[in-house]
Amino acid sequence: MAMKSTGIVRKVDELGRIVLPIELRRTLDIAERDALEIFVAEDTIMLKKYQPACVFCDSSKNIITYKGKNVCANCIGALADRS
């Protein structure tokens, strides 16, 4: 995935925070209190809207949280079939 510059520059405040411009949040459907996942590669930091994924197959569809773990409906069905 190629990254492109938005031309937006923000300074980090004394608590290590940056503000994401409202236009960017609207475009990427990021609301207040949404979780963002942080990725690092060499000298690059990438933020991505967090999507919970299944611990077994990494799917993000039909996720159910069971005992603090995210599991998709397909894997729950597969586990039930093994019983």
Tens digit of pLDDT for each residue in 1-50? 678 888 999 999 999 999 999 999 999 999 999 999 999 999 999 999 88
pLDDT band at 66 (very low <50, low <70, confident <90, very high): confident
CB–CB of 34/45 below 8 Å? no
Q: How far apart are the first and last CA of the chain?
A: 41
Let me know: does 64 contact 72? Beta carbons within 8 Å: yes
Looking up tokens 């409906």 gives 73
pLDDT of res. 52: 86
CA–CA separation, 14 and 9 (whole Å): 16
Average confidence (pLDDT) over 62-75: 90
Residue tagged 């809207």 (tokens): 49
Average pLDDT over residues 49-59: 91
Check residue 1 and give its pLDDT: 66
